[in-house]
Structure 1
C-alpha cells in the first residue's frame, strides 16, 4: 500500500480519537469530578504503558533519573495542566468552543519560541497571529462585543485557553529537550510524573470539595479517557509522524476542531452558531498565514 496514502489516512483518522477527549470533558464531568477524572485517566494510562515497557525502563533507570526534572515538568504541563483544564472547562462551555479555542495552541507555540528561544517571526506569521486572535475572541465573546464591554465571559473558555497554553509549553519543551529514551518509555515516565503532579489536587478535591464515587460510570469514563484519547490517540499520532513528518502531522489539531464540533452536535445536541463559523475561518486562515514562509526564508 502507498506510504502517502497510509500517512494521510492516519492524518484523517487519528483526530477522531484525539477529539474524543472533548466528549470526556463535556460528559464525564457529570459523573466524575474533573481533577479525579484527570488523575485516574493518567494513572491508568501509566499502568498500561508501564506493563508494556517495564523491562526497558528498568534497564535505563540511570537515564530516567538523569532526565527526571525535565520529565516532571513535561508531566506537569502535558498531563497536569492539559489534563485538568479541559475537564474544568467542560462544565461551563461547549465542545465546539473548546475545540476552536484549543487551535490557538500553535500560536502560543510560536510566541513562546520567539520570546524564549529567539525564533524569528515573519510578516505572514505576525498577521496570522492577529487573525487567530480575532477568531479566538469571536468565539469567547459569542459574536457579542457587549460581553467585552460588560466583562462577561464563560469561565470554561479561559480554562480551555489555559490548556492550549499548557500544550504549547509542553510541545516546545518536548522539542527542545532531547531524550535518550525511546518514545513510549519516555511517555510512560512523563505520564508517571503527570499523575503525581495531579495527586495533591486530587486529594484536595476529594476530601474538601467533591468525593469521587467509584461506580460503573466512573470506570467507564476513566477507561475510555485512558484508551481512546490516550493510548490509541498517542500511538496513531506517533505513527502519523513516522509517515508524514511532524510539520504535516500538526494539521491533526485543526481536524480535531472539526471532529470536536461534530461530537458536540451528535452527542450533546449543541448548535453551531454563526460566531463559531466566523471564529473558525479567522483561526484557520491565521494558521495558514502562520505556516507560510516569507520570500527571504524561501531564498535561504
Structure 2
C-alpha cells in the first residue's frame, strides 16, 4: 500500500481518538470527579504501557533514574496540567469551545520558545499570533464585547487555555530534553510521574470535596479515557509522524477541533454559533501564518 496513502489516512483517523478526550471532559465529569478521572486515567494508561515495556524499562533503569527529574516535570505538565484542566473545564464550557481554545497551544509554543530559548519570531508568526488572539477572545467573549466590559467569563474557557499552555510547555521541553529512551518506554515513565503528580490533589478532592464512587460508570469512563484518547491516540500519532513527519502531523490539531465540534453536536446537542465559526477562522488562519517561513528562513 502507498506510504503517503497510509500517512494521510492516519492524519484523518488519529484525531477521532484524540478528540474523544473532549467527550470524557464533557460527559465523564457527570459520573466521576475531574481530578479522580484524570488520576485513574493516567494510572491505567501507565499500567498498560508498563506491562508492554517491562523488560526494556528494567534493562534501562539507570537511564530512567538519570532522567527522572525531567520526566517528573514532563509528567506534571503533560499528564497533570493537561490531564486535570480539560476535565475541570468540561463542567462549565462546551466541547466546541474546548476544541477551539486548545488549538491555541502552537501560539504558546512560539512564545515559550521565544522567551526561554530566544527563538526568533518572523513577521508571519507575529501576525499569526495576533489573529489567534482575536480568535480566542471571540470564543471566550461569545462574540459579545459586553462580557469583557462586565468581566463575565466561563471559568471552563480559562481552564482550557491553561491546558493549552501546559501542553505547549510539555511539547517545548519534550523537544529540548533529548532522551536515551525509546518513545513508548519514555512515555511509560512520564505517565508514571504524571499520575504521581496528580495523587495529592486526588486525595484532597476525594476526602474533602467529592468522593469517587467506584461503580459501573466509573470503570467505563476510566477505561475509555485510558484507551481511546490515550493508548490508541498516542500510538497512531507516533505512526503518523513516522509516515508524514512532525510538521505535517501537526495538522491533526485542526481536525481535532472539527471532530470535537461534531462530538459536541452529536452527543451533547451543542449548537454551533457564529462566534465559533469566526473564532475558528481566525485561529486556523493564525496557525497557518505561524507555520509559514519567512523568505530569509527559506533562503537559509
TM norm structure 1: 1.00
The Cα offsets for residues 171-192 of structure 1, whole Å up to 9 and x where unpaired, read as: 0000000000000000000000
Deviation at residue 42 of structure 1 after TM alignment: 0.1
Deviation at residue 153 of structure 1 after TM alignment: 0.1
Secondary structure, in 3 states, of the residue corresponding to 2:194? helix
The Cα offsets for residues 238-291 of structure 1, whole Å up to 9 and x where unpaired, read as: 000000011110111111000000000000000000000000000001011111
- Aligned-partner Cα distance in 2 for 1:76–1:114: 22
Residue 100 (structure 1) aligns with: 100
- Aligned-partner Cα distance in 2 for 1:181–1:159: 32
- Aligned-partner Cα distance in 1 for 2:295–2:221: 49
Residue 214 (structure 2) aligns with: 214
The Cα offsets for residues 106-137 of structure 1, whole Å up to 9 and x where unpaired, read as: 00000000110111100000000000000000
Secondary structure, in 3 states, of the residue corresponding to 2:189? helix
Q: What 5-or-longer segments of structure 1 have no aligned partner?
A: none
- Aligned-partner Cα distance in 1 for 2:184–2:138: 38
Deviation at residue 157 of structure 1 after TM alignment: 0.1
Deviation at residue 298 of structure 1 after TM alignment: 1.4
Deviation at residue 56 of structure 1 after TM alignment: 0.4
- Aligned-partner Cα distance in 1 for 2:61–2:102: 35
Does residue 279 in structure 1 map to residue 279 in structure 2? yes
Deviation at residue 299 of structure 1 after TM alignment: 1.4
Deviation at residue 204 of structure 1 after TM alignment: 0.1
- Aligned-partner Cα distance in 1 for 2:72–2:123: 36
Residue 242 (structure 1) aligns with: 242
For these two proteins, the number of residue pairs brought into alignment is 300
- Aligned-partner Cα distance in 2 for 1:206–1:297: 52
- Aligned-partner Cα distance in 2 for 1:188–1:253: 23
Secondary structure, in 3 states, of the residue corresponding to 2:128? helix
- Aligned-partner Cα distance in 2 for 1:172–1:296: 24
The Cα offsets for residues 202-256 of structure 1, whole Å up to 9 and x where unpaired, read as: 0000000000000000000000000000000000000000000111101111110
Secondary structure, in 3 states, of the residue corresponding to 1:35? helix
Deviation at residue 292 of structure 1 after TM alignment: 1.0
- Aligned-partner Cα distance in 2 for 1:142–1:292: 29
Deviation at residue 32 of structure 1 after TM alignment: 0.1
Q: Which portions of structure 1, spanning 4 or more consecutive aligned residues, are displaced by more than 4 angstroms?
A: none
- Aligned-partner Cα distance in 2 for 1:298–1:57: 41
Secondary structure, in 3 states, of the residue corresponding to 1:65? helix
Deviation at residue 294 of structure 1 after TM alignment: 1.0
